Amino acid sequence: MDFWWGVLVIAFGLIVSIALHEIGHLVPAKLFKVKVTQYFVGFGRTLWSTRRGDTEYGIKMLPLGGYVRMIGMFPPAREQLSDDARYEAHQRRRGLRGTIEAIVDDTREASGAEVADEIRPGDGRKAFYQLTMPRKLAVMFGGPVMNLIISTVLFAVIFTGLGIPTWTNRVAAVSECVLPAGESRECTADDPVAPAAEAGLLDGDEVVSWAGHPVEDWEDLTAAIDAGGATEVEVVVLRDGDEVALSVTPTLVERPVTDAQGQTVLTEQPFVGINASRELQPEPITAVPGHVWQVFTGTVEIVLTLPQRLVSIAQSTFGGTERDPNVVGLIGVGRMGGEVTSSEALTTAEQSAVMLNILASLNMALFVFNMVPLLPLDGGHIAGALFEGIRRRLAALTGRKDPGPADTAKLMPVTYVVVVLLAGMSIMLAIADIVNPVTLF
């Protein structure tokens, strides 16, 4: 039950993120008097809807996205042909080029008919293509920017409210013995007693100082242990509110480390036999922008290398190699949420922090991916608006006639290809998430 609770939380968070993304488009569109006929979360059969003014609001069966339907997303044809002339033009087209031209013309005609049917003179409403370039950008940027805001707010809640998992100077567990490198098993009578156990360190002890060096966190403690080597040192711990002094003599053991060349080698290191506890520690609000930037740049890198990563995922799915954990589908994200809520190793606060981190990362991915300059993504409309603005500006500077709205209908054949590729990517990731899933623990 705990597993499915996590799946439902992630699904609900994703649906809310999609709904807010579409609100990011809806609000500026209505402010600029664009006629918006539909606002829906999901695709497929309508489960519920209601009408307010010009707009129908609703929820559809498949929560795999959402949309805002604005009138006149594509400019109509500049010259209107009669029905007979249009039929003859279609008949003359042959082959691939003719098919592409037919798709473009049909898109323009559909847009023009839509505007004629939905917008009446004097009602104060506009078609999207009639907006100025800055207003088009405001409408199309609104959705992705909403996801960026959601991501930033969630990271701020995590950092300043819940805290970041941090290794502390509190002992979580004391090893009973010293095991050879690479072995993980129960201790036997033949194994040497671990120095921490021999000295009397207990679970829950808070290390105050090590060999006279003050200790505030795990980094301080490990640095002091490494500096002391295998010599006997005095350790002061806080136990049940009282300071207790102990004598510990670390032992040298071989442990694998990575050298400057990236090779794993065995080196002798002082071993005590204690594990640190992990606690959530709040960070200042000033730490949030740097983390958001780090997640943003990391997501951009993933999107730029997405084709290679998808090839790698396909090979790992059908070839048994290790899978790239940075790209997962909806099934994989839901599985992660289930793993978090069903994990006994995490406290409730830690589970909440991880779940919010997943949703924050998802919103950052939605922001970056939607900025790809290809239709039907928001970035495609943004690129069209920028091209239109530059072209009109150049025409004004050179004294030429206003070229009018950018004919984004010409991109429709490419749009169909992008839709097919996105569908294929989604199916492949779904298979990979089932056959070779990414696991958090």
Q: DSSP characters for 340-365? A: HHT-SSS-HHHHHHHHHHHHHHHHHH
- Using CA atoms, how far apart are residues 78 and 85, in angstroms rounded to an integer? 15
In the predicted structure, residue 304 carries a pLDDT above the cut 80:
yes
Rg for the chain, CA atoms, rounded: 30
How would you label 143-180 residue by residue, b for 16+ Cβ within 10 Å and e otherwise? bbbbbbebbbebbbebbeebbeebbbbbbeebbebbbe
Report pLDDT for 85: 44
**Residue in the block written with tokens 């928001």:** 378
* Residue pLDDT, tens place only, 210-248: 999 999 999 999 999 999 888 999 999 999 999 999 999
Token reading at 215: 């200790």
Q: How many CA atoms lie within 13 A of 308 on its CB side?
A: 5
* Residue pLDDT, tens place only, 371-403: 999 999 999 999 999 999 999 999 999 989 988
Query: What would the mean pLDDT of 278-284 be, rounded to a whole number?
Result: 92
Query: What would the mean pLDDT of 126-146 be, rounded to a whole number?
Result: 94
Q: What pTM does this model have?
A: 0.84
**Domains of the chain, residue spans:** 165-281
Average pLDDT of every residue of the chain = 88
Report pLDDT for 47: 94
- Using CA atoms, how far apart are residues 102 and 86, in angstroms rounded to an integer? 10
Query: What would the mean pLDDT of 403-413 be, rounded to a whole number?
Result: 84
In the predicted structure, residue 262 carries a pLDDT above the cut 90:
no
Report pLDDT for 30: 95
In the predicted structure, residue 1 carries a pLDDT above the cut 80:
no
Residue 138: pLDDT band (50, 70, 90) is very high
By CB atoms closer than 10 A (0-12, 13-18, 19+), residue 413 is middle
* C-alpha distances out from residue 220 to 207, 208, 210, 276, 287, Å: 10, 10, 9, 12, 22
- Using CA atoms, how far apart are residues 250 and 195, in angstroms rounded to an integer? 6
Report pLDDT for 171: 93
Report pLDDT for 80: 47
* C-alpha distances out from residue 90 to 40, 81, 97, 107, Å: 34, 12, 12, 14
Token reading at 73: 């997303």
- Using CA atoms, how far apart are residues 140 and 380, in angstroms rounded to an integer? 9
Sign of CA dihedral 153, 154, 160, 161: positive
Q: Which of 2-6, 116-120, 168-172, 372-376 has the lowest mean pLDDT?
A: 116-120
* CATH number belonging to domain 165-281: 2.30.42.10
Residue with the larger pLDDT of the pair 192 and 81: 192
- Using CA atoms, how far apart are residues 410 and 75, in angstroms rounded to an integer? 10
Q: Would you please indicate which residues are annotated as catalytic (active-site) residues?
A: 22
Q: DSSP characters for 372-404? A: SSSTTSHHHHHHHHHHHHHHHHHHHHTTPPP--
In the predicted structure, residue 104 carries a pLDDT above the cut 50:
yes
- Using CA atoms, how far apart are residues 334 and 11, in angstroms rounded to an integer? 7
How would you label 227-262 residue by residue, b for 16+ Cβ within 10 Å and e otherwise? ebeeeebebbbeeeeeeeebebebbebeeeeeeeee
Secondary structure tally for the chain: helices H, strands E: 12, 10
**Residue in the block written with tokens 């005590």:** 272
Residues paired with residue 440 on neighbouring β-strands, in sequence order: none
In the predicted structure, residue 263 carries a pLDDT above the cut 80:
no
Residue 173: pLDDT band (50, 70, 90) is very high
Q: For residue 141, what are the contacts with CB-CB under 8 A and spacing of at least 6?
A: 378, 382
